[in-house]
Structure 1
Amino acid sequence: MSSKLLAGKVALVTGAGRGVGKGIALELAAAGASVVVNDIGTSTTGEGADLNPAQTVVAEILAAGGQAVADSNSVADWDQAHAMVQTALDSFGRIDIVVNNAGILRDTIFHKMTREEYEMVINVNLNGVFYVSRAAAPHFKAQNGGSYIHITSSSGLVGNFGQANYAAAKLGVVALSKSIAMDMQRFNVRSNAVAPWAWTRMVNTIPAETEEQKKRVEGLKKLVPEKIAPFVAALASEGASAVTGQVFGVRNNEIYLFSQSRPIRTAHTSDGWTPESVIERVFPMFENDFYPLHRSGDVFTWDPV
């Protein structure tokens, strides 16, 4: 095992059976934390259940000399979210770190998206973050400390095609994280969001039909999910005690701090606005600063380093 930056801490990592979540669980354990490895083992679209991935990660942690238990509760259910926090308390006596990583995809172009496709993604990717975070909140408050790390996505921060449900959830996670940071600051509780770039089962669903798409997918395959974990471990530690309410990105060996929405232009009139004067004056004033309909790949155009 490596440095014991998180010795004595107890972490819950959702969706920790594979990909980014697995890398985070292993890294937190290597840093000395006891880890609840939560994963119900569904497909990328949320079907089925298989506890083997979570148990395999636990076995790997135990073999390396760490402490871990598997948990198969669903983040998309209030009672089960509380049950997974209880797993941490029953197994290790406390909870200090929550990593909200679990997520599913139901990619569909907006005008064809069904209510079920929308609600399933919102239930797991946004409601699940609230349920698990809320379940841990009284314990963080009582012990006057805790760290939330929520996995967001450039699909929400920038935009992507065919992901209205996923983008809405992931940008919602950013707002939820900021609200948690504000509301629980007085209890020494921190909350941050991290957007990971990594080749995982979920990214593997990206279509690769045109030459341009194939080139992008080949670039994405260079993104190693384990590269996300060291930053998350640092963010969970006391070394990040002053870091809260922020939005970060990790892409191989690059770490980003994202901007947050602030006014960039203003228009004022002493006479008040009419629809006609808005059209005549405001839109032309603002036009140069309008954001184009960028997708994530339009913004992050350079090869991973």
Structure 2
Amino acid sequence: MGRADHISKLYTALGANSFIEPAVALESASAPLRRLLDQLSQGAAGALRPAELVEGPRGEVYSDPLAPKVVVVVSATGGVGRSTLVAALASGLQRQGHPALALDLDPQNALRHHLCLGGDLAGIGATSLLNQTWEALPERGFAGCRLVAFGETDLVQQQSLTRWLGQDLEFLGKRLAGLGLNGQDTVVIDLPAGSTVYLNQAMSVADVVLVVVKPDAASFRRLANMDAVLAPYLEGESAPQRFYAINQVDASHAFSQDMAEVFKLRLGDAVLGEVRRDPAFCEAPAYGLDPLDPALNSVGCQDVNALCRALKARLN
């Protein structure tokens, strides 16, 4: 049986609410997922790509062509490797000769660990609440890329910052403008999962939004929800480009590879690339190692470097 035939049977099986070898239960698949897979199996993938979206708010802070490019990395839920990928993109771009700054807009304050910047770093949370600029916040991480951490904050501080960001739609744009960046720089922003005030701020300055998904049925079900969340931001002449990265593809698991193909059929050219599951990426933070160390040249490293090249091509 050819691979295409196998994928077609997977569509049919998923749509029929059946089982896929090796014993992968899919009885929890939602009706929308079954309908999507039924349509895909009938060759209607083109009709399922992201639909025309409604007009939404869009800032004008970065109309200057000499301003940095901004990549906003989002996901519908946690657990898809979003922060790991943000750090890898920043250090990968830096290694390829494109100055990069990783910005943590997630109150969990975890991005620093992925760039070997443990410990307490001054971050945007407390600094902003003190009405101070971000000029002194960037720190150097792997490969020389810069990081602006969120910083340690308590619940009261987070609530205050959330109110502020909800009222001042130019908050992020004004503070990025104070970092002294230029047209050679790329800012890669990590966000909490779902729809938040942080997403609203980030999308006001975005050139590209990169949606991170895992090759499983749960991520596939949530595609429509992510489309709805992003819809208000993706219309108009200044709207950002939207792409998808399929993360943690397990090369040893046929179902994982087949689900990656399902995503590609669903999303078409919007898939910027895929990153294979790589133990080096899981272990690196524990040992303070750089998963993109050229000496390793792991499969994940190769895939992230390819993703960086594809991203720069779209930004240019």
TM range, smaller chain: 0.3 to 0.5
TM-score by length of 2: 0.39
Which structure has the higher relative contact order (CA within 8 Å, separation 6+)?
Answer: 2
